[in-house]
Structures are given as C-alpha cells and as structure tokens.
Amino acid sequence: MPLVAGVDSSTQSTKVEIRDLDTGEVVATGAAPHPATVAPRSEQDPRSWWDALVVAMGQVGTARSDVVAVSVAGQQHGLVLLGAEGEPVAPAQLWNDTRGAANASSIVEALGAQTWVDACGSLPLASFTIAKLAWMAEHAPEVLARTAKVMLPHDYLTWRLTGEHVTDRGDASGTGWFDPRAGVYRPDLLAAAVADPDLWLTRLPKVVGHETAAGELSGPAAEALGLRSGIPVGAGTGDNMAGALGLGLQPGDVAISLGTSGTVYSVSVTATADVHGAVAGFADATGSYLPLVCTLNATRVTDTVAAWMGTDAAGLSELALAAGTGFSGELLVPYFDGERTPNRPDATGTMVGLTTSTSRELLARAAHDGVLCGLLDGLDALRDAGVAGDGTIRLIGGGSRSGAYRQRCADLLGAPIVVPSTDETVATGAAVLAARLIDGRWSNPPDWSLGHGEAVDPQSSGAEVRRVYAEVRDK
C-alpha cells in the first residue's frame, strides 16, 4: 500500500510519522533527539537535524520501501546560514535565542510599528529571524561575509532532501522580511537589518506554492534514509502551520499548544495586523492565514517546579489535581526565561499569594495555572485582533497529556476543550502535505479524521484566578 512520510523537526528532536495514503492510519514512527539548548543563547548545528532524521527514518523499518512522498515541518524563526560549499558557517540560532531583543527593538523603531504590521503582518520580536540576522550583522559580520544561502530550519532539511533552496509562505511569514498578503520578500524590511538588502535577497530561498513539490528526493538522500530515489518532496512548512493541518483546523477553531513554548493559533481567511505585537499575522500552509500568539514559558516551567518539589511532571499533575477547586491566592507568573508575549525578554518568574497555609498541592496548581493564564491571555489577544475563535478549542502538545493541564485549561477557559487522540500533530500535518502531492489531492485533501479526541468539561470557575493573574502580570 502507498505510504507518506511526515517529518517534525522541533527544538528537541526529529520525529517521523509514516501514514497510509488513503486511510491516514499510522503505520510506523521514529524519533531521535537534538542537542540540548538553553536560552538566551540557543543554538544547534543544523547538521545534527539531518543526523537525527537519518536515525528516526531508520526506525520505521520496511515501511520505508512503500513511501511515495515526504514533507518536512520544522521549528519556526531559526536562522540557518550556509557557505558557498553548502556547509554551515555558524550554528543555527533557534527561535528561543533572545540575544537579538535589542536588535528587534531597534529595527521596529527604525520603520515604526505600524509599517511593520502593515508590511509583514507582525511586529518583529527577538524570536523573529530578522532580529537574529540583525544581531549577526552587528556581532558577527565576518560570518555574514561567508554566507551564500539563508534558510529556515525546515528549509535546510528540504535542501538536504532535494538540493533545492526553497521555502513556503507559511514559514516565510515568520521571518520578518516576507509579506504574506502579497507573497513577496520585502527588501525595505531587510534593509533594517543588513546594509545591502538587494544582495541578501539573492541568498533567500524561493517561495514555492503549496500545490507544488519542492523537488524530488535525491539519490544520496534516498540512500541515507532508505527511501526510493525520485519521490516528490513537499515544500514543507513551519511547525505551527503543520500543526493546524494535522488538527484539521477550520476557520474559527483554536489550538492551544503546550510544548517547550506555548502557542495559541487559529485559521483565518483574512490577514490580521496587531500593532501591539501580541498577535503574529502568519500565513498558513495552504493559502489562508494563521494568526498566532506565542509564549516562551510552557511545560519547561512545570518541569522545573516539579524538580524543585522532588517529583516529575506526572507527579506535579497529581498534586495539582489534589488541590481542590477553591482559589486561595497562590499564583505563578512564569516568566522563567524572559517572555515573548508580552515582550519582556529580561523578565523573571514571580510567585504571589504564599502563606503558611500554602501546600505542595496549591503550589503545583499555581504552576499549571500560570502557564495556562498566559496562553489564555493569548486567546483574548487573538479575539481582540478580529479572530472569531468561536469554534472547537483543542489542547495539544506534550503538556496535553497532563490531567492537570487538561482540567485547569477547561476551568480557566470556562468552556469545554477537546484533547486530540494524538499529540504528534506537526508530523501529521507534514504527512498531510506529503499526501497532497499525490494524484491531485490538493483539490481533494485526504480525509483522515483529524483532530478527533476526548472532550473535557469545566468542573469549577477559573474567573478569579484569571483576574488575579492579570493584576500581577501588569505590575
């Protein structure tokens, strides 16, 4: 039977999902880790992503022989710089590398916030690729002098698969130099980061339409991965865009993702522009838009608090669920590694409401609530920017496996949520992109029953928690 391969190359690992082309059934999976990073200097050698892909693909076994298409989704915003010989001239700066915070502020000031959101739909922050390029121009001009190609992380893997220097509009919309409405690069925006923007335009990848393959799998790549040479490779996209596809999101639906970072996003048929910078006006992978809010601090916060308390994430979840429903004032504002939304790169975490009556259970619940309150603030920002947000709300990511995160999300939201039966939505979305390359399926997308899962209803009111969080957050 024909199979397709979806690749999720995240901050932490590369995952491969092999699915039946017709039914969407998962046939095999593989995974391999990436080198660990610690913000504010968060870097990886992009060659480690390829090595991880080779290992992960090797784990799917004989299913590789029936794969007829492959596509890659990767972490957004990373800056990959290659020299003339195709080797990295520096480690890739990842999305959570915040050294470019001052550069982001400078380039926004240079053109004005309104100009930026009108041009690219977003107000560049430290996480955006253009801020990283500006940082390199200031601190490592000798590296930029050796640069021949600029890529995003998923572009690098597509290039390793095909030899083609391409990207898609979804991932390109997170760079800060691409206009998602017009579908073009903006040299005037690049000029805020580098002195010779026209030259840098020649170093950027070609933006490939969502209905077009990036190229064919090359012989050397096929040999390394155990796949058939010549099969089509999709242009791929960013991880959040792939996640939307993997969930089968429709306009109005919302995804709340709990991973290393937290994201809230929705599919929209119209573009958004938030001059305050909370909502990134991204494009999606299929011709629509993906307005999104991102927080830096999500499950790493509860992992850290769990370690402080001598337990793990599952143990902290059990403690939080045992805290009961009454709110006694304990709350965490979880800006452990600075924050992206709101834009506070130098912030630290704050715990309030502690008394001699505070228990381990209440501390555990406060940690989960703090992460979720930040994300639900993001949902409010989406709605303020004109996004309907009135459809199904899905909780995804590694944190969605936590009983405490599930229940407290519904409680704080004051509405039911759905937890999909799989949390590997990025790899699934990449597999959808691969499937759409076969037999004209762009006009007839695969029906794989995406996004189905368990409904969780509120059991208590979280209104007071959210009110107190807003007061403490704004101090």
- Active-site residue numbers? 239
Cβ 426 vs Cβ 1: under 8 Å: no
DSSP 210: T
- Alpha-carbon distances of 452 from 26, 246, 250, 385, 404, rounded to whole Å: 15, 11, 13, 28, 20
Cβ 407 vs Cβ 365: under 8 Å: no
Q: Beta 13-20 vs 43-44: how paired, if at all?
A: unpaired
Distance CA 42, CA 153 (A): 14
The neighbouring-strand residues paired with 338 are 336
Q: 137: how many CB neighbours lie within 10 A of its CB?
A: 16
The neighbouring-strand residues paired with 352 are 331
Distance CA 144, CA 409 (A): 44
Q: How is 297-341 classified by DSSP, letter by letter?
A: -SHHHHHHHHHHTT--HHHHHHHHHTT-S---S-EEE--BTBBTT
Distance CA 80, CA 45 (A): 9
- Residue count of the chain: 475
Distance CA 445, CA 267 (A): 16
The neighbouring-strand residues paired with 280 are 292
Nearest to 78 by CA among 54, 108, 100: 100
Which H or E run contains 473? helix 463-473
Cβ 151 vs Cβ 161: under 8 Å: no
Determine what percent of the chain falls in helix, strand and coil, rounding each to the nearest 5: 35, 20, 40
Distance CA 265, CA 228 (A): 36
The answer for residues whose C-beta is within 8 angstroms of residue 259's C-beta and 6 or more apart is 10, 298, 299, 397, 398, 399
